[in-house]
Structures are given as structure tokens and as C-alpha cells.
Structure 1
Amino acid sequence: MVTYSRAALFILVVFGIGFAIGSTNLPGAWYAGLTKPPFNPPNWVFAPVWSVIYVLIALAGARTWERAPRGPGMLLWTAQMLFNFTWSPVFFTWHCTGIALAVIVAMLLAIIGFIAERWQADRAAAALFLPYLAWVAFATLLNAGIFLLN
């Protein structure tokens, strides 16, 4: 059982860093001018989806930390967070859609690795990552579409 204080700390850290990166790497005019795939959702969808996903990521991280703070699950959790927080500057600030695609594929692999590693040890933590996996798989398709169309 994850403690409330640990869960709150993880939520605060994940949201805090995510907000800082999101607010300093805004889509802007460059993104608005890109050709996007027809399945690209409206911009307003991203903030609420990421808010829910960040809570799930934080809870999975808190559970993993309490069970094995130096184990492979925590290493994979940390790796996917580093890729997650790297993607926005690469895509929105540096305008490197190809490098961003490589970053998001690496993130997707780290998410899959986390789920696979935690599935036997802590199925709840693994299950908390399933919506994240679905969203990042979709985001990977969006990134690939933007890369190919531009």
C-alpha cells in the first residue's frame, strides 16, 4: 500500500516538472502552421489527458518506489520520465520532429518495459501505465505523421 504522503510527493513532482516544461515549450505559431494528420485531436484535448495520465504515472512511481526504490522498475519509471520531459523541448522549441520521434519511440519502449517488469511484481502499478501506453502510442503516430507530412 502506497502512503498518501508518498503519492502526494510523486504527484507534486511529476505535475510540477510537467507543468514547467509544458509552460516553457509551447506549441506556438510554428506548430499551428504544420500539416497534421487527419486524426490530430484539437489542442484543448492534450492538457486534460496529460493531467490524468500524470496522476497515473505518479501513483505507479510511488508504488514502485515503496516496493523497490533502486530496482529495475524504478529505473524504467525514471527513464520514461526523462524521455517524457525531453520530448516537448525537442519538438516544440527546437522544431526537430525527427529527433522527437526517436525520443517518443524510446519513451514508448520504456513504458512497455515498465509494464512488463512490474506485471508480476505489482500488477496495479503496471495497470496504471496502460492508459499512458495507449496515449503515447497514439502520440507516436501523431509525431510520425507530422514528421512525414512536413
Structure 2
Amino acid sequence: MSASSIQKRSGWALVVFLLITFAAPALSAFIEMPGEWYSALRKPALNPPSWVFGPVWMTLYTLMAVAAWMVWKRQGFGAPLRMYFIQLALNAAWTPIFFGAHALGLGLGVIVALWVSILLTWLSFRKVNAVAGWLFVPYLCWVTFATYLNFSLWSLNG
């Protein structure tokens, strides 16, 4: 295989990782978006304005996809990428549970499972590629904050 065909394959793989990473949660977001129900909830003091979430998630999904691609380039499909897809599925599941079913408690359970799976993904990624591991740190930090928000909303609104 020539160097140019390897580069093309790698470039297409990055595109696929970006598409999958953005598609999974986007599908659930199209189904269930915050609405009047969410607007009526009592919010914690540190609740950010709604415009913050879009740019943050766009950045995080990009970093996640690049990290997964870097791991794939180094190791191919193995346990770290299986963990990546598990956390991605949990990420996608949270929106319809929290916003669609209005299940604050169940959403809290899902986001705690998501946090654990992100931690495990980060630990496995950093063993394969240190940069890929570091690219996952902002995601872990944001979901830590999101867990606080979910817990606070659940506490304030029962």
C-alpha cells in the first residue's frame, strides 16, 4: 500500500470517526430538545446559559473523535475503542431519558455510568496514545460538571 493511499485511508477514517461521534448524540437531540418543561425547572446557581452548550459540545465531540482516530491509527479496533463506543452510546441515551422522559433520577444514573465509562475510556486511550488521552480530559471535566447539574436539578425538582 502506498503512502498516499495510507494517508487517504487515514483521512477517511477521521471523517468516519467525526461522523459517528457527532451522529450518535445528534440523533437523540433531534428527537428530544429542552422545552417548556426544562425551562420551568428550578436551576442550580451554576447553571450556564443555554447558548453555552452548543459550542462546548461541538468542541468536545471534535476532540473525542480525533482522540478515537488517534487510538485507531496506533492500535486499530480493540478494547479502548469498544469503551469509546460504549460511552458514546451512554452519551446519546442521556438526552431522551432526561429531556424526553423527564426522568431526572434515571438521567442521573445514566450520566454517572457515562462518567465512569469516560474515565475508563480516558485511562485506556492514554495507554495507547498520550495525546489522545489528554484530548479526553475536557470531556471528562465537562461531564463532571454536567453530573453536578443533573444531580442539582434532581435535588431541586424531585
1:130 and 2:137 equivalent?
A: yes
Aligned residue type for 2:35 = G
1:43 maps to 2:24: no
SS at match of 1:3: helix
Residues 104-130 of structure 1 deviation map (CA, whole Å, 9 limit, x = unaligned):
111111111111122222111111100
- Aligned residue type for 1:116: L
Corresponding letter in the other structure for 1:82: A
Deviations 1:25-82 (A, max 9, x none): 1010100000110100001110110001010111112222333344221121011101
Structure 1 unaligned spans of 5+: none
1:118 aligns with 2:118: no
8 Å Cα contact 2:24/2:89 also seen in 1: no
TM-score by length of 1: 0.93
Q: CA deviation at 1:100?
A: 0.5
CA distance in 2 between counterparts of 1:69 and 1:93 reads 36
| 1:60 aligned residue | 67
RMSD across aligned C-alpha pairs, in angstroms?
1.6
Report the Cα offset of residue 149 of structure 1.
0.4
Matches within 5 A, 1:24-35: 24-35=31-42
Tell me the percent identity. Answer: 37
Q: In 2, distance between residues paired with 1:107 and 1:95?
A: 18
Give the aligned length: 150
The alignment partner of 1:129 has SS state of: helix
CA contact (8 A) 2:24 2:88 kept: no
Deviates more, 1:10-19 or 1:47-56: 10-19
Partner Cα separation in structure 2 for residue 136 and residue 148 of structure 1: 18
TM-score (norm 2): 0.89
| Residue number in structure 2 paired with 1:91 | 98
Residue 21 of structure 1, CA deviation: 1.6
**Structure 2 unpaired stretches of 5+:** 1-6
**Structure possessing the higher radius of gyration over alpha carbons:** 2
Q: Partners of 2:72 and 2:124 in 1: how far apart? A: 14
Map of 2:4 onto structure 1: none
Distance 2:17 2:29 in 1: 18
